[in-house]
Amino acid sequence: MGFATLQLTALDCPQPLRLAEFYAGVLGGRIEGGADDDWVELRLDDGGRLAFQRAENLTPPEWPRADRNSQQLHLDLTVTDMDAAHAEVLKLGARELDVDEETHPGFRAYADPAGHPFCLCRA
């Protein structure tokens, strides 16, 4: 048994509010902070929290890499309708990284608008 609980996950990005809006479109929740803030939080309905911290010169990670600009962290998001979720994340500003489910059954990889990798995973 651990001695701590996870408070939140923070992502560096050039535009904290823009990235919070992207993830609010994907996950729902309530955004706290504005366009000029260096720290914006997304409070999810289930109690989880994502934070977005301004990093003007962020070099986005590369997918999949382990030698330089590795992904360092990515989010796995469970969905019940993969095709509908695919269309929605693209509409919100994601870009495809690896969406070949024959190669990787059960998940598709994307980059959010700041370049962080995330996966949509079948429920």
Tokens of 83: 């095709």
Burial per residue of 56-73, b for 16 or more beta-carbon CB atoms within 10 angstroms, e otherwise: eebebbbbeeeeeeebee
42 and 10 belong to one structural domain: yes
Q: What is the CATH number of the domain that holds 73?
A: 3.10.180.10
Tokens of 17: 């509010």
Greater pLDDT, 73 or 51 = 51
- Decide which of 12, 32, 56 is a domain's last residue: 56
Contact 107, 121 (CB under 8 A): yes
Residue 112 CA to residue 42 CA, distance in Å, equals: 15
Residue type, 60: P
- Decide which of 56, 82, 97 is a domain's last residue: 56
33 and 73 belong to one structural domain: no
72 and 109 belong to one structural domain: yes
Residue 47 in this model has a pLDDT that exceeds 70:
yes
Q: Which domain holds residue 26?
A: 1-56
SS3 label, residue 79:
strand
- As a whole-number percent, the residues of the chain with pLDDT over 90 amount to 66
39 and 78 belong to one structural domain: no
pLDDT score, position 71: 61
The torsion angles phi and psi of 90, rounded to 5 degrees, stand at: -65, -40
Average pLDDT score over residue span 20-28: 97
21 and 70 belong to one structural domain: no
- As a whole-number percent, the residues of the chain with pLDDT over 70 amount to 92
46 and 100 belong to one structural domain: no
pLDDT score, position 21: 98
Tokens of 12: 């560096």
52 and 68 belong to one structural domain: no
Summarised one tens digit per residue, pLDDT across range 56-106 is 888 887 777 667 666 667 888 999 999 999 999 999 999 999 999 888 888
